[in-house]
Structure 1
Amino acid sequence: MSGAQTPEFQLLEQSVGYFYSAALRAAALLNIADHLAGSAKKPDELAESAGVHGPYLHRLLRFLATRDVFAEDDAGRFHLTPSAELLRTDAPRSMRSAVLMLTDQVFWKPAELLDETVRAGATRFEEVFPAPFFDWLAQDEQAGDAFHFGMAAMSDSENRRIAADYDFSGCSKLVDVGGGQGGFLVEVLRKSPDLHGVLFDEEHVLAQHRLGEVRHSGGCEAVIGDFFSAVPPGADAYVLKRILHDWDDEESTRILARCREAMDPDARVLVIDAVIPAGNEPHPGKALDMLLMTSLSGKERTKAEFEAVFAGAGLSVTRVIPTSTPLSIVEGERESG
């Protein structure tokens, strides 16, 4: 066993893993990928165009290159890699905003209190910020924009594939509950031009909606509301993408109950979230679950846990549909009686 494979080395490497997140954030904030677009550069040349310190930039990029974000050639020039390309602000489906969201202080600072979170069995977010997570986003414009644009960027990498993985052909009206800027609904409408789409969310979120990106015969609209109170009635399908994982079981049951109240007998609810598999294999949902645990009240769920919150709202899970992304579609219908 080499030194780099020993349990001791693995623990030490994992202990400084937070510097990878910090380095990604720094590269995104400094727009390093933009300055490398078109040609490779040596650190001093790149530092001059980016307005930063050359030797320190070299150390940053050398570290990121160990994870295939940027690459250094034999002449000492740094190049964009496929991952680094996604840090460009003008890249198709850029992930820069997603990186900035996931490394924002609303997630970073509460993570420091993970031990206290585990002791208490609840987020310590309000020990760091003066309001619960979503209330704070509504109060702090910078934090709110970072979150909503970041979520849109993260979702853009998966929306088209998920929309293609479900058959919406029997659906004439769809409500995207808590749909944010509407990226997923736009992809569904592109696939199903006769479908009428309703983007449902709070007013400050809908101010940035993207429904204008699509023109189709079925029409679409943005409707302001609170999914804890009521959702628009009369749709064939109610989509909740990356919504329930933000909330604990009681709150998730309330959201689903509002959907059930709005549903016609033959309507469906489609919860799009990670479904945590059994075993100890890596899964993106397991990492995101730590973020949810420290900053929000929610969690990533197993199939059995989804079945429990569905049942609490008078719904039953009919099937779980894997997608070509880390997310699955948990389909449900109203329980009879």
Structure 2
Amino acid sequence: MDHTAPSAPSAPSAPDSLSAIDPLAAHLTDYALSYLHSAALRTAARLGVADHLADGPRGADELAALTGASEGHLRRILRLLATRDVFHEDDKGAFHLTPLAERLRSDTPSSLREAVLLATDESFVRPATRLEDAVRTGRSVFDEIYGAPFFEYLSREPGAGEAFDRGMANVSAGEDDAVAAAYSFPAKGTVVDVGGGRGGLLGRTLARNPGLTGVLYDRDAVLRGHSLDVPELTGRWEVRPGDFFTSVPAGADVYLLKRILHDWSDEECVRILRACRAGMSADSRLLAVDCVIPQDNTPHPGKVLDVLMMTALNGRERGEEDFRRLFTEAGLRLVRVVPTGSAVSIVEAAPVAPVA
């Protein structure tokens, strides 16, 4: 005979019960609140949490003492990040590094801390809150918010400019060797890295091609932080300040433009490309290194960056036909698109011979 008490009728699920969540609503809500994940990630990076976990797991109390943060608030953001595999909280409440959190350390070759700080910087986040205005008007609202276009703002705000240069160097570090390895550079000759920042790509290109010499061409303020002064490159490089809208060093065999064209409107890109074309010989090649957007619904990092370009700048990411059109207007022809195994591809261009 069954002596167990009859089970009580099931109570209706509470509206916030996980079993009652509409998966589509949950998915959309997660997207809508994703800015909080970004803010939490930036906070952890700014506080240096990952550095403090390099020697092993720590509780939120220890981490709060080390970072000067509120223990309760720090625990809450780390708990959120742990849901995305950035840190791991064990059953004793201690936080561990994960493969993603390792990339937030500041002292490792694979660190992406500066890139995360750049991507989550106010100068990108504030214009994004005005995306609707950009979409309605077809123009960035950056200069309305900060009183100057993006690059002018960076030049007048040294701290912002330095953070941008560090972040871009950090972003590029993971791509430069892939780009240098993907293209068959000439055995001898000169490479000009136009707007080459601190020289990461030029350095990797010269290291892989010992018969080449290089010129790093950028604004003087940027060149002062270059990374080319290393023993393996001694005597094979020089830096030259200048404005790529007006001219570039003439007579080189290869011109590199890495993540330059996406910053600018089509009209400004044509100006840059024409300045390069004026410096090229008949046998020179121009390599535009940028995202090349696929035409279908395939996820691609460039599709996210494309929205960033329309909010902070007046640039855009482009597809193959977009590059072909820009090159044609500048007196160049698209030769081929070379994948690199990274987010960017190499779009190779050659001069069009003048009509006799």
RMSD across aligned positions (CA):
1.4
Task: State the Cα distance separating 1:282 from its structure 2 match.
Answer: 1.2
Match of 2:249 among 224, 232, 243: 232
- Amino acid of the structure 2 residue aligned with 1:149: R
Contact 1:25/1:103 (<8 A) preserved:
yes
- Cα deviation, 1:249-290, whole Å, max 9, x if unaligned, reads 010011011111000101000000000001112110000111
* 1:281 to 2:298 alignment: yes
Q: Distance in 1 between matches of 2:84 and 2:226?
A: 34
Matched with 1:112 is 129
Aligned residues: 337
* 1:43 to 2:60 alignment: yes
Matched with 1:190 is 207
Matched with 1:149 is 166
Contact 2:258/2:288 (<8 A) preserved:
yes
Matched with 2:75 is 58
Match of 1:247 among 264, 267, 275: 264
- Amino acid of the structure 1 residue aligned with 2:173: D
Q: Distance in 2 between matches of 1:78 and 1:270?
A: 45
Q: Distance in 1 between matches of 2:65 and 2:332?
A: 59
SS at 2:55's partner residue? coil
Q: Distance in 1 between matches of 2:293 and 2:258?
A: 16
Q: Distance in 1 between matches of 2:284 and 2:153?
A: 34
* 1:135 to 2:155 alignment: no
Contact 2:219/2:242 (<8 A) preserved:
yes
- Cα deviation, 1:64-91, whole Å, max 9, x if unaligned, reads 1111111112222111111111111111
Percent identity, please.
49
Contact 1:189/1:214 (<8 A) preserved:
no
Larger radius of gyration: 2
Contact 2:187/2:212 (<8 A) preserved:
no
CA change 1:326–1:3 in 2 (3 A) is: farther
Match of 2:27 among 7, 10, 15: 10
Please list every run of 5 or more consecutive structure 1 residues that lacks an aligned counterpart in the other structure: none
Please list every run of 5 or more consecutive structure 2 residues that lacks an aligned counterpart in the other structure: 1-18
Compute the TM-score of the two structures, normalised by the length of structure 2.
0.92
- Amino acid of the structure 1 residue aligned with 2:289: I
* 1:205 to 2:222 alignment: yes
Q: Distance in 1 between matches of 2:346 and 2:231?
A: 24
Q: Distance in 2 between matches of 1:56 and 1:217?
A: 50
Task: State the Cα distance separating 1:214 from its structure 2 match.
Answer: 4.8
- Cα deviation, 1:212-256, whole Å, max 9, x if unaligned, reads 135336610000000001000011000000000000101001101
Which contiguous aligned blocks of 4+ residues in structure 1 show a shift greater than 6 angstroms?
none
- Amino acid of the structure 1 residue aligned with 2:283: D
Match of 1:70 among 87, 102, 118: 87
Q: Distance in 2 between matches of 1:128 and 1:34?
A: 34
* 1:173 to 2:182 alignment: no
Q: Distance in 1 between matches of 2:154 and 2:177?
A: 27
Matched with 2:111 is 94
* 1:310 to 2:306 alignment: no
